[in-house]
């Protein structure tokens, strides 16, 4: 059976990657999961300076998902290069670094500090406010995304992934990113959401809003992947609510080249390898030999 995938210039032994922010930097996960068995990993989002994130409560469970308002807590790019990269890079060859900034120049500064590391790719998280544009999220501003990717491309020639927000002008944003040289899209980040604590008559989260992830979002994100693949025929990482091998195949049939597993890691640290095993068994039962040959192969006739 051939599970290898090619996503732009990146080659991976299988299509299962870990999604940013849902496994830390593997400090705990590595005790339960052999990261080298996966296609690759996307690191927790890195900013220029360390960030504490939001005060608690930062998580609220919903019947079929999780709302998080972590606030992008991370140790900053310097600490990543100095203390995390040396051991993380020994665990998995395909490490893709997820970064975010509050301005184009902040993104560029982070990239310049990462320059000496041989990471496999860069993922731009654009679901954050752009202070140079009055706090409007990059993901709501195709012009800002165009400028961001154009400037990034001047200093970074490697594998470049842009992670889309599922809300906002997603087709215009995708077009802006691809027209300036992004190699692939991650579809998608979490959905803006709320949870209420009726006893306190307050939001269940310290920051009123959060982002919904987990099985609840899978049907929504699946459609985004389908629509974006139909429109752009570009490499896509499907990401949203994946908990089984069948979920992975659904994303691949809709046009994803590979997938990222997120919230499932929080429930069970061995989710990703279980999902990989399930995918193999599913392909075997379907009599399919090659995962990449199934990409976008959804039959559209009734």
Ligand X SMILES: Cc1cc2nc3c(=O)[nH]c(=O)nc-3n(C[C@H](O)[C@H](O)[C@H](O)COP(=O)(O)O)c2cc1C
Counting contacts by CB under 6 A, is residue 225 touching ligand X? no
Helices (H), 39-169: 77-79, 85-88, 104-114, 142-155
Paired tokens of 138:
């990059």
* Footprint (CB under 6 A) of ligand X, residues 145-164: 163
Question: Which residue's Cβ has the minimum distance to ligand X?
Answer: 21
Phi, psi of 215 (to 5 degrees): -50, -30
Which CB sits closer to ligand X, 124 or 291? 124
Strands 210-213 and 191-193 turn out to be antiparallel
Out of 214, 238, 245, 255, the only residue in the binding site for ligand X (CB under 6 A) is 214
* Residue 236 within binding range of ligand X, rule CB under 6 A: no
152 vs 242, beta carbon nearer ligand X: 242
- What whole-number distance in Å separates Cα of residue 135 and Cα of residue 113? 25
> For ligand X, which residue of 14, 20, 130, 271 counts as binding (CB under 6 A)?
20
Nearer to ligand X, 76 or 288 (CB): 76
Nearest to 279 by CA among 255, 237, 251: 251
**Residue 211 to residue 101: CA distance in whole angstroms:** 18
Report which of 256, 248, 251 is spatially closest to residue 281, judged by C-alpha positions. 248
Q: Which of 64, 81, 128, 254 is catalytic?
A: 128
Decide if 128 is catalytic: yes
Residues 6 or more apart whose CB falls under 8 angstroms from that of 246 comprise 278, 282
Q: Shortest distance, CB of residue 62 to ligand X, whole angstroms?
A: 12
- Select 44 or 140, whichever has its Cβ closest to ligand X: 44
Interaction of residue 142 with ligand X, rule CB under 6 A = no
The number of angstroms, rounded, from the C-alpha of 277 to the middle of its chain's C-alpha atoms is 21
Among 10, 15, 21, 178, binds ligand X (CB under 6 A): 21
Among 14, 22, 130, 203, binds ligand X (CB under 6 A): 22
String of contacts with ligand X for each residue 246-275, x by CB under 6 A: ---------------xxx------------
CB 295 within 8 A of CB 230: no
Q: Per CB under 6 A, does 40 bind ligand X?
A: no
Is residue 240 at the binding interface for ligand X, with CB under 6 A as the rule? yes
The count of residues in the chain is 302
CB 264 within 8 A of CB 273: no
Alpha carbon of residue 228 to chain centroid:
16
Indicate which single residue of 213, 234, 257, 271 sits in contact with ligand X (rule: CB under 6 A): 213
Q: Does 111 bind ligand X (CB under 6 A)?
A: no
Does 295 participate in binding ligand X (rule CB under 6 A)?
no
- In the chain, what are the helix, strand and coil shares in percent, each to the nearest 5? 35, 20, 40
Retrieve residue 287's tokens. Answer: 């009599």
Applying CB under 6 A, among 5, 10, 66, 122 the residue interacting with ligand X is 66
How many residues bind to ligand X according to rule CB under 6 A? Answer: 25
26 binds ligand X, rule: CB under 6 A: no
- Using only C-alpha atoms, what is the Rg of the chain? 18
Q: Which of 14, 47, 92, 98 binds ligand X (CB under 6 A)?
A: 98
Q: Is residue 234 at the binding interface for ligand X, with CB under 6 A as the rule?
A: no
Answer positive or negative: Cα dihedral of 7, 13, 14, 20.
negative
Residues at the site binding ligand X, with contacts judged by CB under 6 A = 19-22, 44-45, 66, 68, 70, 72, 98, 125, 163, 189-190, 213-214, 217, 239-242, 261-263
């Amino acid at each position: 059976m051939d599970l290898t995938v090619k996503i732009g210039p990146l080659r991976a032994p299988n299509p299962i990657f870990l999604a940013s922010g849902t496994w830390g930097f593997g400090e705990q996960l590595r005790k339960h999961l052999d990261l080298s068995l996966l296609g690759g990993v996307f690191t927790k989002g890195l900013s220029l300076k360390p960030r504490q994130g939001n005060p608690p409560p930062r998580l609220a469970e919903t019947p079929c998902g999780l709302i998080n308002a972590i606030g992008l807590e991370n140790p900053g790019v310097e600490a990543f290069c100095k203390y995390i990269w040396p051991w993380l890079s020994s665990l998995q060859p395909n490490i893709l670094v997820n970064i975010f900034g509050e301005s184009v120049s902040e993104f560029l500064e982070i990239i310049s500090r990462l320059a000496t590391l041989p990471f496999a790719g860069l993922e731009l998280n654009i679901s954050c406010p752009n202070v140079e544009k009055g706090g409007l999220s990059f993901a709501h501003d195709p012009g800002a995304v165009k400028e961001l990717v154009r400037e990034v491309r001047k200093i970074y020639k490697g594998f470049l992934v842009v992670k889309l927000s599922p809300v906002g002008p997603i087709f215009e944003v995708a077009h802006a990113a691809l027209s300036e040289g992004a190699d692939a899209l991650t579809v998608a980040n979490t959905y803006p959401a709320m949870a209420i604590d009726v006893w306190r008559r307050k939001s269940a989260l310290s920051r009123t809003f959060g982002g919904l992830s987990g099985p609840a979002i899978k049907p929504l994100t699946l459609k985004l992947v389908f629509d974006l693949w139909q429109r752009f025929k570009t490499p896509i990482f499907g990401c949203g609510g994946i908990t089984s091998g069948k979920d992975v195949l659904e994303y691949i049939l809709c046009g994803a080249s590979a997938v990222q597993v997120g919230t499932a890691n929080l429930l069970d640290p061995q989710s990703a390898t279980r999902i990989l095993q399930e995918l193999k068994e599913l392909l075997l039962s379907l009599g399919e030999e090659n995962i990449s040959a199934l990409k976008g192969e959804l039959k559209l006739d009734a």
